[in-house]
Structure 1
């Protein structure tokens, strides 16, 4: 009997991480792959990235539009409500045996809630992590409690999911699936990448992604203003920005970045979506990853590339020693940038171990899924430490 497994994706970054697993499920004997697409994938404003999924050769079974074009907490709450209604209908049509999703965003929270209430077992990747500066932190733990199978990125994250009361036989440390892409993709050469970007990254380039710290109110624009001010003190540095996701204040940040690029056209460029191949190819070639994105913590160390992590968005997340944490104050950012760009720190970053695994998450996940066949008893016992 073939198991229908529905993979949910609501953002470009999440899809990029899931790509190796989706590819494997497409050809895996005993599974029928379904793909449910939502969130920024369907937004013109954020690049209509569902087209990339189709270009990669996947069939999208359901598209659920749910994202309001507004930049407030209220819009996020309303979008979550719209998503719940849309996912209820989509899951009724698909009737999957499993719903598989990754992470902690509000789109994924709504999908997990819909599946949980419809008695569809949820497979959750990247549970047990901590990001104390983001609303995603609580959503991630809530998704874990609504999930049946858990694939965590480190052993400490596995223990934390068990601490939430999940039975150990359903919780597995498989490493971070994003590392699989680093091991499997044939990355672009510098010349190929520059041609694709229509931008010369030169010898000294940084990759910058800055998201709102969603548990703070109205701080994002001031913090990005400080970061951009520091970047003006490094006129020789090339800068490639990837634009923020659909969080509260995100659109204001996008406008600020585009204004900075317009005033620094010879050394700065921004992209709504680079796609996983160009993004990882660029990460491999830059001097540092700067901002507050999880990719600077999870993927960058596997390339031996330093990360300057700014502020509290990723506070609490396990990290390699090549990740340098600084406050959002201009002086701290400037000192931190000088440090990660120094030859000493560049050399050091190439020696560190990445705690997020070795790039074999996909095969581990598939082998474990093979052990859990339908029908399942979804009445879980709370595991009390």
Structure 2
């Protein structure tokens, strides 16, 4: 039920700029919209404008403010200057009581920093994730550490994240374990969309009843040698398993797209797709055999569909998925990736064991918990 409160509404500015941020902030935005306690303002930096728009359309969210900082080739130096300058101007006009950011993007870090300079409290959704290596993932590991030195509210998705924060000295009374909001998002999609429909498979002439493995590779730290190792592994696996399709929506970054097309484009059972909207991607995940990815977020999403994940990295901040048996780290060497993926293809028992565990990332009520906590502590 929407809440009522006698005090003047507190102004909350929710900021996002990339696809992962809006995926995980959408249910929080929905929950804040229902609250009479808060006046909600949404702002997009436009860090990944084109990819972001797909998700805004799915969720029916139109940002109140769009900084539109994206340009064709954008460096971290450019983003730092553009976001800080443009956001500072808007922040000084809005004067919110709280700024909310999510995760570990450049948008999240710079927004938190600019807010801190004005002594505006920051709420960090998905606080406390750590790999312990400042260059892996890069620059995300440092971004989230900085945010957690600035934040006033820490919304940790799991107990493991909570322990990371407490170990670093975050005040216990400001750390709240809520679950991960991506579970809320996936439950919303299950309720509002037919996830068994597979228009993408039909469009690309992939038989819906044929097994396929979903691939996503795009991270900045994967570029170069590691990327080539991963692509070599995918090629070897595809050639050795002709009865499987390897479905890979390729990131628009030319440093990913060009080598993907060069190394994988000629293999018949590797399907290189353009970037998909989130709904089509979730549908693919729902129907796949398992997922191979260098993403962190997909290791949180796949358990909602009982899909095993091979994480193509040396380290992950989602150790909960590893501990629960839902995911495995493969490293970035070709032979190691091939060995673990082939074992999963060959072993139905291993596949069954990896899908039997309880989802460690929550029960779909994280957004409600976040709004309730803010009502109790911000007002």
TM-score greater than 0.5 by the shorter chain: yes
Q: Superposition RMSD on alpha carbons, in Å?
A: 2.5
Q: Deviations over 1:259-294 (max 9, x none)?
A: 46643576513232422x333222121111102111
Q: Deviations over 1:52-105 (max 9, x none)?
A: 42563323122123345337xxx2123212211111012123222211111111
TM-score by length of 1: 0.85
Query: Which residues of structure 2 form unaligned runs of 5+?
Result: 1-7
Query: What is the deviation of 1:146?
Result: 0.8
Q: In 2, distance between residues paired with 1:315 and 1:123?
A: 20
Question: Which stretch of structure 1 is more off in the superposition, 158-167 or 225-234?
Answer: 225-234
Q: Which secondary structure does the structure 1 equivalent of 2:314 belong to? A: coil
Query: What is the deviation of 1:298?
Result: 1.3
Q: In the alignment, which residue of structure 2 is the partner of 1:82?
A: 82
Q: Which secondary structure does the structure 1 equivalent of 2:129 belong to? A: coil
* Residues 175 and 199 of structure 1, relative CA distance in 2, 3 Å threshold: farther
Q: In 2, distance between residues paired with 1:152 and 1:22?
A: 18
Q: In 2, distance between residues paired with 1:338 and 1:222?
A: 19
Matches within 5 A, 1:295-306: 295-306=297-308
Question: Which stretch of structure 1 is more off in the superposition, 297-306 or 199-208?
Answer: 199-208
Q: In the alignment, which residue of structure 2 is the partner of 1:176?
A: 180
Q: Deviations over 1:290-329 (max 9, x none)?
A: 0211133212123221111112252674323121211222
Question: Which stretch of structure 1 is more off in the superposition, 197-206 or 139-148?
Answer: 197-206
Matched, 1:129 2:129: yes
Q: In the alignment, which residue of structure 1 is the partner of 2:373?
A: 368
Matched, 1:33 2:33: no
Q: In 1, distance between residues paired with 2:159 and 2:44?
A: 30
Query: What is the deviation of 1:159?
Result: 2.0
TM-score by length of 2: 0.86
Q: In the alignment, which residue of structure 2 is the partner of 1:206?
A: 213
Q: In 2, distance between residues paired with 1:237 and 1:206?
A: 7
The answer as to whether partners of 2:300 and 2:318 remain within 8 angstroms in 1 is no
The counterpart of 1:18, out of the listed 20, 25, 36, is 25
The counterpart of 1:149, out of the listed 124, 147, 153, is 153
Question: Which stretch of structure 1 is more off in the superposition, 30-39 or 262-271?
Answer: 262-271
Q: In the alignment, which residue of structure 1 is the partner of 2:11?
A: 4
* Residues 316 and 279 of structure 1, relative CA distance in 2, 3 Å threshold: closer
Matched residue count:
361
* Residues 92 and 146 of structure 1, relative CA distance in 2, 3 Å threshold: same
The answer as to whether partners of 1:307 and 1:323 remain within 8 angstroms in 2 is yes
Q: In 2, distance between residues paired with 1:356 and 1:112?
A: 25
The answer as to whether partners of 1:123 and 1:147 remain within 8 angstroms in 2 is yes
Query: Which residues of structure 1 form unaligned runs of 5+?
Result: 375-385
Query: What is the deviation of 1:175?
Result: 0.9
Query: What is the deviation of 1:369?
Result: 0.9
* Residues 288 and 25 of structure 1, relative CA distance in 2, 3 Å threshold: same
* Residues 231 and 10 of structure 1, relative CA distance in 2, 3 Å threshold: farther
Question: Which stretch of structure 1 is more off in the superposition, 254-263 or 132-141?
Answer: 254-263
Q: In the alignment, which residue of structure 2 is the partner of 1:325?
A: 329
Question: Which stretch of structure 1 is more off in the superposition, 261-270 or 345-354?
Answer: 261-270
Question: Which stretch of structure 1 is more off in the superposition, 196-205 or 180-189?
Answer: 196-205
Q: In the alignment, which residue of structure 1 is the partner of 2:259?
A: 256
Query: What is the deviation of 1:221?
Result: 3.5
